[in-house]
Structures are given as C-alpha cells and as structure tokens.
Chain A
C-alpha cells in the first residue's frame, strides 16, 4: 500500500529529549486547567496527544455508564466528512474494548495482525500502527487514548509520553465532570425551587378556586341568589391572586438584569413587583459608597435576596419587608440584609420547614463564594437574613 494521503503528522515531541517532552505535557495540562467545560477539554486533549507523538490519527474514548458503548469518542486527524461517512460511534469491542479493561498500554506495528482486531466500517481509514493507553483515575479506567499510523511505528518513548499525559488527562476529565455535575445540580436546585413555589403559590389558589366554584354550584340550587354571588365574587378574587402569583414567578424565571441595573437596581424592580403582587410594602435601601462587588458576588447575593423575599412574603405573613445593601460586612465585603416582621421560626429546628425555606442552599451558596451567612429568627418576632460576600 502506498503512503496514505492526508495531513502529514506533526514532528514528534517523543523523539526530542525527555525535558522537552515533559515541558510539552506540562504546557498541555496547564492550558487545560482553565477550561471549564468537558467537551473542549476532551477536544484539546486529543489534538495535543496526536501532536505530541506525531500520529496521523488520534481518538479519545470515554465509555458510557453501561460500558457497552462510548459516551464520547472524539477524534483528531479526520475530517468532518470522514467522521460523518464512518457512521455511529464505535461500540466497545475488539481492541477498543481491550484498552478499557486492561490498565496497561498496548502497542503494535500492525493493528490488523492482532487477534482482537475485528473489522472497520466501510468508510473507516485503513490503519497500521497502533498505540492504546488507558486513562486511569484512582485505579479506575475512565477512558483511553487511541493513536494510529505513526511513520516508522510507535516507540517505547511514545508509550511513556502518552502515559504521562494520560495520568494528567484523567484528572482534568474528572475535574471537568465534577464541574458539569455541580452546574447541573444548580439547575436542578433552581427547578425544584420553582416547583415548590408553583406548588405553594398556585396549587393552593386553584384548589381553593375549585372548592369555591363547587360551593357556587351548590348554592345556585337554593332560592337565595346571595350565597352564589358571594362565592363567584370570591372565585374572581382567587383568579386575580393566581394571576399575580404567576406574573411574579415568570418574572423570577427571567434572568435578573444585574449587568445593566446593578444589584440594587434589580432588587428595586423585584421589590416593586412583589409589593404589588402581595400587597406588602418592600423597601430597598442602598447604604453603599460607590464600588460594587464583582458580578459573581452580586449574583449570589441576588439569589439569596430572591429566596429570602419569597420566604418573607409567602410564608412569614409579614406586613413589612426591608432590604438593605451595605458595604461594611463582617469580612469587609458587601452585606445584604432582608428583614421582615412576620411570624418567624426557630432557626435551630432541623425540621421540614427549615429545608423548605431553602436556608441550606442559601448558606451553601454564600459559603461557596467565601462569604458568611446567618439567619436570626424567633417565633413571633420576624426573621432577618444576613449574607455577606467579600
């Protein structure tokens, strides 16, 4: 077979002195450390490994949970058209699978001579030399590098180089996975808060509306029109209340205009809407000298304010709520205070109620941002939530 056409392999770093190889691995790892998402991390890794050893093709496979196929199989050295023509992601069988069960790297000069080699899809490029290196994280195989077609075949130095990168890659992949999992958890948390608010705000109204309409129907059978009219009047008030709640929830779903309005501006808009929906005055005062906290800190304070305000208005039966933003927090940062004169509760009680009020997630948010969080409440004497971020 003639020399295959296509991209020429980059000069191999593995052929350079060991210190240069180490530097190349370090460069790749450092570049990846700043990448937050899993997908770009995987792409950069697979390109880097191909260039490091000078292979014509490289792939990075991550098995799915069942272990019967690949969750991700990212290649380097193939065109999009080639990938399209080859068809679906490979399943974990043959040599690909071997790298997911055996922690030792494997190298051969002719992949087709290996007894574990099975077949290639019609459009798959024909390959010869092969190097497979599993990615190990705490003893578990979390994926594998597959490299093929290096001019002159792969050497022991290539194995060591890829093994070195694989160790770092496994850590980077696990970190990116953790990051994605935590982002997914925040989204899930937001959704469950919305579900809870919908339940608290709307199902109560609609449940009541249903009963009231049934009462109207029952009363309509009687001779006196007054009870029927009274029930219909109540039903209309319930529809109004449900509409107001719905508007508030939709407003809360929209991302706050923190960038354009700033924390205090966004809080003022929110307070105005809540005041109207719940017929309780909500005042916002800004006692900060110029110099706002960073956008991350603002977002965390906003979330806490939103949650604390929802609690004050939905659960505390407050007649007045005040929100204050000050510059002199305990750690010198920005301090947010949300205070109401409602029914209060016992913050020490580890009851269903405390969890429902979202106190745990508020605390976690603020502490993750390096701040401090406290709830001061006594049954019958209102609640004050204080959150400060540096």
Chain B
C-alpha cells in the first residue's frame, strides 16, 4: 500500500523551531511539509492556499495568535486536523 504522505503546514513565530520541525519531519516518508508561516495572519492565508491535511500551530505568537488564527481558518471539507 502506498498511501500519499500527510501534507503539513508548520506555524511558529520562531524560525529555529520551524526549521527543526521541518528537518525532523522531512526524514519521515509519511510526511510532507508543504508550507510554513511565522504568524497567525500568514497561517490563515497559507491554510487557504495550500489546503494542508494537518496544521502544526503555535498558540502563543505576537500579532494574530494561534487561537485567533484557528478561528479564522475556513475548514474545507474534509477539515484538516490541527495539532496545537
């Protein structure tokens, strides 16, 4: 069985954390990091554009924080899973 990899969007205001998560996740064939965002505002736009399966969201960020971004992300059908 060759299931297609899980498409991920990483949201964190710290570039080192995004980089670490990306490096780590990219060693796994079952995940594909399709995008990154450094704040809630970008996360909302990228979620709409990339339609990821899973969003890894940092809740505490300056500006639009994770909780607010989650509220603004329009869930497509089917909705992506969010792991905060």
Contact = CB atoms under 8 A, between A and B. Distances in A.
A317 B39 CA distance: 11
Give the size range of B's interface with the partner: 20 to 34
Interface string B7-31: 0000001101101110110111000
Contacts of A238: 16, 20
A212 B25 CA distance: 10
Contact of B24 (A212, A343, A346, A379): A212
Contact of A379 (B27, B38, B63, B65): B63
Interface string B59-74: 0111101000000000
B23 A353 contact: no
B17 A353 contact: no
Contact of B17 (A204, A214, A215): A204
A357 B62 contact: yes
Contacts of B16: 204-205, 208, 238, 241
A175 interface: no
Nearest to B39: A343
A214 B24 contact: yes
Contacts of A352: 60, 65
Given A215-B26, A218-B27, A219-B27, A353 B20 contact: no
The 6 lowest CB-CB distance pairs between A and B, nearest first, are A208-B20, A211-B24, A211-B20, A218-B27, A208-B16, A215-B23
12 contacts: A200-B14, A204-B16, A208-B14, A208-B19, A208-B21, A214-B24, A215-B24, A219-B27, A234-B23, A315-B62, A345-B62, A379-B63
